[in-house]
Amino acid sequence: MNKTLLTLILLLVPFSLAHTTPRKKVGIVLSGGGAKGVAHIGAIKVLEELDIPIDYIAGTSIGAIIGGLYSIGYTSEQLEIIVKQTNWIDLLTDKISRDAIPFPVKLDDSKYLISLPINNNKKSGGIIKGRNISQLLQQLTESYNETINFDSLPIPFACIATDMATNQKEVIRSGKLSEAMRASMAIPIIFTPLYSDKKVLIDGGFKDNLPIDVVKSMGADIIIAIDAQSELATSDKLQAVPDVVNQLMLMICQSELDIDKIKQVDSYIKVNVEGYNAASFSNEAIDTLIIRGKNAARANYISLLSIKDKVGIVPSKKPHNTSFQLPFSPQYTPIKNNQLRAALRFDSENIAAILLNLNLQNLKTGKAEIALRGGRQSFLNAQYSLPLSKIQEISIANKIAYSDIFLYSYGQKISNLNFIQNTSKLAYSITPLDNLLFKANISLDYQRFFRTLVNQEFPYPKSNDLFLNYNVELKYETINKRYFPTKGLDCHIGYTIYTNCHSSTNYSVFNTLIKKIFPISPSTYCVPSIYGRFIFNANIPLIYSNIIGGEGYSLDFEQQIPFSGLIHTENVNNVFGGMQIKFQHKIHKKQHLTLAGNYAISEHHFSNFFHGKPICGISVGYGYESPLGPIEGFLSYSNKTKDLGFYLNIGFGF
């Protein structure tokens, strides 16, 4: 009896031990590589198909982002949705959709070619702050935004950064998950580093772009390395500056790649990323890279099946994260740094102009701004704004301007105004909604005319004039882009009283604009608008009269109404109203074709308005969204001039 029992015990013990012995742990390593790193998603899909468990993850740069998200429950399918529905160019350049920018910042949008921070805060070592990518990572890791140990995640995780202060590799295994991922992809100079205590953290690729030893130290018995780095380019492909810069980055990152380490991994998945670079975030590129990641993993089927045999069991399903929301829309965050901004433009009417702007945001109370423009129309403007609340502010400004302006009527030059204008303004504004602005101001406007050639039919400006003006305006705007917009509404209503201090003569003006963008197809848009400016007194000074013309980017007069078909400024009667319909078609990426037509009526009196002579105009244009700003050319025709005109614009309007 005892012998039988002993025999059974001896037989059962090995069986029991076999089933209690811990299985071997699998760790995956995800390299950096910018956009090329989306290939990791394809490779992970194959691991999921083979039911290979993932027990540890270590990643660098884009590998840290994909690995970090996967470690908290995002599936490969969800990761694919994220990378496809995210506008990576806007994300990585901190660009904010115009409809998300509040007034009055919206009015200053898309003017400047460059913006340089001027700040006593030494923690600004990057051209791009990375606000958008930080917001996205915070949103995607919403449940893990507290300081935690990354070993407590559903899949233990580590990411690699480089500490610039010590020139050492930094293995991040605790803290805020979103900040750790953000630190790992902070390319120096381009992105602001992550400052943590005395550490200055930048892209981990400079020290370890394939952290095999890290995942091994975490406890992985079996290691799968997925490498999405490019191969070094040959001499014939190193002709341009971007190619040389890219090669230098590859040399730095690959110099830290230990070939002996690669030999130690159980499966080395090398993705073919030829033809793509760190900025290849188009949908076509993402699709191709994910497929290439799959193909690279499937080319390693033998080693992967061997790993599955070593593991010996089929794992339970990985917990899924279902809380993410896409598409992601970056939210505006106020800029707190002092800035020096510059803009440069050229057009066929005013030739060239330059704009410099010093924006002082770091004042204890309020903010100050100084703007200087050079060209045919030059000015120096200084403004100080004092916030009364989150939505209210009061401002005081003084602007000294020199203008040399030509005016036309029916294509004939009627005036050449050469004058200095000094305007002192006190304004109150309130923005109850991000896209809604109410503003009231009073201004003292002094004009000194030096050389004035004026047709007899129009009032002569005096050698000097002094006006006290009152203005109220209400603006609502949700236009998503200043140039080539694709959605939104723009409404503007204003009323102004001009009071001549010399003669006590008053002129009142009402103006309005309503513009709406309607999509016709994914690449074609219809933009109808109605507008008007109505003067309630005859013989208003020429400087305040109704002026139309131009394409709206570089206006000679504050009250000027753009009018397709007229490339120069035209003087019209006191009562002016009309409509425009514009069609915009995207032909290829950043290239656009436009067709616009105007119909308007101008008369001296309201009673005769509908009997006035119509003004018509049409323009056909081509536009390209360049890094220097929009480049546009227009062919125009109007029944006012009865001539075919051409207008060329290069650069942002100001």
pLDDT, tens digit, for every residue of 186-233? Answer: 777 677 877 777 888 878 777 888 889 999 999 999 999 999 887 665
Q: How far apart are CA 32 and CA 62, in angstroms?
A: 5
Instruction: State which H helix or E strand residue 132 sits in.
Output: helix 131-140
Distances (CA, A) of 411 to 320, 544, 551, 630, 634: 69, 20, 17, 27, 17
pLDDT value of position 260: 66
Q: How far does the chain reach from its first CA to its final CA, in angstroms? A: 102
Name 116's bridge partners.
Answer: 340
Instruction: Say whether the peptide bond before residue 327 is cis (omega within 30 degrees of 0).
Output: yes
By C-alpha distance, which of 167, 170, 157 is closest to 196?
A: 170
Distance CA 591, CA 588 (A): 5
* Confidence category of residue 406, pLDDT binned at 50, 70, 90: confident
How do residues 262-296 score in pLDDT, each as one tens digit? 778 889 999 998 888 877 888 889 999 999 999 99
Question: pLDDT digits over 511-566, tens only?
Answer: 999 999 999 999 999 999 999 999 998 888 888 989 898 876 667 888 899 998 88
pLDDT at 249: 59
260 burial level (CB within 10 Å; 0-12, 13-18, 19+): exposed
pLDDT at 362: 67
- Cβ–Cβ contacts within 10 Å for residue 375, how many? 18
pLDDT of residue 510: 96
From CA 631, how far away is CA 648, in angstroms rounded?
8
Residue 333 has pLDDT above 80, yes or no: no
Nearest Cα residue to 196 out of 207, 184, 187: 184
Highest mean pLDDT among 116-125, 238-247, 312-321, 405-414: 405-414
CA 440/CA 394 separation, integer angstroms: 10
- Report d(CA 185, CA 203) in Å as an integer: 5
Strands 222-227 and 267-270: parallel
The pTM assigned to this predicted structure is: 0.74
